[in-house]
């Protein structure tokens, strides 16, 4: 799983054993980044993968005040920064 800051293009990579670990990793990432930068995560853009569309993930983002943007299916153009980064990795 990779997280990319749109402004700085800084990338964080977390290795998952299962997709069900995505929420736990995002929680860890959120704490780490907010302590490091002193700023809050405001937007989260993801694909429509099952690990990101669960009710638990949705509720966590609502509780934390994170607005979510889900890309349309089969449109890599909407997520071109992440697609380019994945090709590099």
Sorted by where each starts, the structural domains of the chain and their CATH numbers stand as 2-88 (3.30.420.10)
Angle of helix 22-37 versus helix 55-64 axis, rounded to 10: 20
16-30 b/e with 16+ CB inside 10 Å = b?
eeeeeebbebbeeeb
- What is the pTM (predicted TM-score) of this model? 0.82
CA distance 74 to 47: 9
* Residue 77 pLDDT exceeds 70: no
Q: Has residue 15 got a pLDDT over 90?
A: yes
Q: pLDDT tens across 45-75, in order?
A: 888 877 888 899 999 999 999 999 888 777 7
Mean pLDDT of 13-31: 93
- CA-closest candidate to residue 5, choices 50, 55, 45, 62: 45
């Amino acid at each position: 799983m990779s997280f990319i800051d749109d402004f700085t293009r800084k990338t964080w990579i977390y290795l998952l054993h299962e997709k069900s670990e995505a929420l736990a990793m995002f929680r860890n990432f959120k704490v780490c980044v907010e302590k490091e930068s002193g700023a809050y995560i405001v937007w989260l853009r993801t694909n429509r993968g099952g690990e990101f569309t669960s009710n638990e993930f949705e509720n966590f983002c609502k509780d934390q005040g994170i607005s979510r943007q889900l890309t349309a299916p089969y449109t890599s153009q909407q997520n071109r920064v992440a697609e380019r980064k994945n090709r590099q990795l």
